[in-house]
Amino acid sequence: MSNYQTNKPGDDNNRTSDHRNREEFEETPTWAAVVTVLGYAILSALGWLRDFLRHIGLEEKRTAHDPNPKDFVPLYQSYECFYTRNLYTRIRDVFNQPIASVAGAKVHVMERVSDDYNWTFKFSGKKIPSINLGSYNYLGFAENQGPCSEQAIKSIETYAVTTCSTRHELGHQRYVKELESLMAEYLNVEDCIAFGMGFATNALNIPTLAGKGDLILSDKLNHVSLILGARLSGATIRTFNHNDMKDLEAHLRKAIISGQPRTCRPWKKILIIVEGVYSMEGSLCKLPEIIELKKKYKAYLYVDEAHSIGAIGSRGRGVVDYWKVDPNDIEIHMGTFTKSFGSAGGYIAGKKNIIDYIRVSSHSACYSSSMSAPIVQQIISALSIIMGRDGTNDGQKRIQQLACNVRYFRRQLVDMGFIVYGNNNSPVVPVMLFMPAKIAAVNREMLKRDCAVVTVGFPATLLTESRVRFCISAGHTKEMLDHALKAMDEVGHLVSLRYSKKNPHHRWVELDHADYDKEYTS
């Protein structure tokens, strides 16, 4: 029942099966899958009943309706609307919750009340101060005080807020040049180019790199921006199973042997697109094996390090640093500044000739606004702190704090008996819920205990695999993590989330805390 390739030691002699890099995707228990599907069946049946009542007029219609007469092609796709009306709206209060403070390690969530079962909301005026376990604030740079924000404010005085121009016209400013050279040094590559939006970096630059006559091999669980970019490029797209190297090799061999679909000509190039850390599963890509395959079959590699740059690796340089591979082996390094650097934007880095080509022919460089000064200054300050250029070792401390936090949090959750997906070192911690009602229950109960979490269901995940996703930050102290773990323990008992068959179930009071403290302070 599991779609994922579990890493077992002894699989191959490679370092990816080392016990420290273990990735666990425990299988869904059968009874949980059956109960989940039954739950969705009950919700669908009652949804049909409500739709029927709305149709005959016993209940008022509260969604937008199609103004066209019956013979016209329908304006809205029917299952998505059914899902939104009858399943999503019932628990809408746990999604898109407005906040009232900076989303650092702690956040103020605004409380909303609803009289008519989540069709309309009213603010009660109360702000709930809670521990923020949902922001991608891996190194804790999302703060409104401190050296980064002071320098960003000063940069507004020097450079003003925006250039009102694209990169090719008047947007090529001194601060962007500084950012690009600093980033290239950070990643140990030749050159780098920065863009204003992380999603657009993928979606608008993959068409520059690949086109008709090329083959793109992308992982099944890649992010929407990569899929969109691949589709826009016009190349042929084939997907391989998540982190499955045998499947990737089979696809490569088939592609090289058979060539393009109708003409059987050889492919102009083959581009493999993977992500560093997958944000819904918390798994890392197996970079050494992919590089070996790429060299054997002469393909190109594009690694999207949106969640892993700054957060993974002993010096925070991403998956390249974590697996200790040569950065020159990867053709395109891509990443975003939104997650670990507390800013906005994306970058692409690699050899100078590729980056020069992208500078000239990217849609983003020609048509979208250049990055504005305070945003770039925030990244430059964060980078200097991480690299140690500001004279303190604050950056290295943050990276180590994050690694400790992640190990501590994950180990306790696993020992309590929850099903936790992903690699032991990834700061994204998904805990499985499976049933739709638990999505709402866990979110509300955690908020009552002052923890703001993100719970996700269909369509961001598979239908039967809803989860609660914790994002650990270097800004979390041990007390905050303990509070969150205690809350999770209580909620896990209340909502019965302990599904694991491999690990025995424990309550928080039964765990030996001296053992964990040693691991935390090491």
Interface with other proteins, residue 121, by CB under 8 A: no
Q: How far is the CB of 412 from other proteins (least distance, A)?
A: 15
Sites for other proteins among residues 498-517 (CB under 8 A) = 507-510
Distance CA 311, CA 290 (A): 21
Whole-angstrom CA distances from 243 to 248, 290, 514 are 8, 9, 36
Q: How far is the CB of 51 from other proteins (least distance, A)?
A: 13
* Nearest residue (CB) to other proteins, 177 versus 507: 507
Contacts with 270 (C-beta within 8 Å, 6 or more apart), sequence order: 214, 215, 216, 217, 252, 255, 256, 297, 298, 299, 300
DSSP, collapsed to helix, strand or coil, labels residue 431 as: strand
Using the contact rule CB under 8 A, the part of the chain among 37-45, 182-190, 212-220, 407-415 near other proteins is 37-45
Look at the chain and count its residues: 522
Sites for other proteins among residues 472-501 (CB under 8 A) = 486, 489-490, 493-496
274 φ/ψ angles, rounded to the nearest 5 degrees: -135, 165
* Nearest residue (CB) to other proteins, 34 versus 75: 34
Identified binder of other proteins from the candidate list 17, 33, 39, 478, rule CB under 8 A? 39
For β-strands 467-471 and 428-432, DSSP reports them as: antiparallel
Identified binder of other proteins from the candidate list 6, 11, 15, 42, rule CB under 8 A? 42
* Residue 257 token pair: 């042997």
Sites for other proteins among residues 60-89 (CB under 8 A) = 87
Identified binder of other proteins from the candidate list 232, 344, 437, 456, rule CB under 8 A? 437
Burial 139-165, CB ≥16 within 10 A → b, else e: bbbbeeeeebbebbeebeeebeeebee
Interface with other proteins, residue 53, by CB under 8 A: no
Binding-residue total with other proteins (CB under 8 A) = 28
DSSP, collapsed to helix, strand or coil, labels residue 202 as: helix
* Residue 421 token pair: 């997906």
Using the contact rule CB under 8 A, the part of the chain among 34-42, 131-139, 460-468, 472-480 near other proteins is 34-42
Interface with other proteins, residue 325, by CB under 8 A: no
Q: How far is the CB of 488 from other proteins (least distance, A)?
A: 12
- Tell whether omega for the bond before 74 is within 30 degrees of 0, i.e. cis: no
Contacts with 466 (C-beta within 8 Å, 6 or more apart), sequence order: 432, 433, 434, 435, 436, 438, 439, 455, 456, 457, 458
Interface with other proteins, residue 37, by CB under 8 A: no
Q: Which residues, listed in sequence order, are joined to residue 459 by a DSSP beta bridge? A: none
238 φ/ψ angles, rounded to the nearest 5 degrees: -130, 140
* Nearest residue (CB) to other proteins, 41 versus 156: 41
Interface with other proteins, residue 436, by CB under 8 A: yes
Interface with other proteins, residue 43, by CB under 8 A: yes
The 8-class DSSP code of residue 85 comes to: I
DSSP strands (E only) in 133-276: 191-195, 215-219, 236-240, 270-275
Using the contact rule CB under 8 A, the part of the chain among 16-24, 333-341, 404-412, 432-440 near other proteins is 432-440
Nearest-10 Cα torsion for 200, 465, 425, 294: -60
* Nearest residue (CB) to other proteins, 198 versus 436: 436
Using the contact rule CB under 8 A, the part of the chain among 38-46, 301-309, 320-328, 360-368 near other proteins is 38-46
Q: How far is the CB of 116 from other proteins (least distance, A)?
A: 10
* Nearest residue (CB) to other proteins, 131 versus 435: 435
Interface with other proteins, residue 117, by CB under 8 A: yes
Contacts with 437 (C-beta within 8 Å, 6 or more apart), sequence order: 39
* Nearest residue (CB) to other proteins, 106 versus 493: 493
Interface with other proteins, residue 90, by CB under 8 A: yes
Using the contact rule CB under 8 A, the part of the chain among 42-50, 60-68, 97-105, 350-358 near other proteins is 42-50
Interface residues with other proteins (CB under 8 A) are 35, 38-40, 42-43, 46, 87, 90-91, 117, 435-438, 440-441, 486, 489-490, 493-496, 507-510
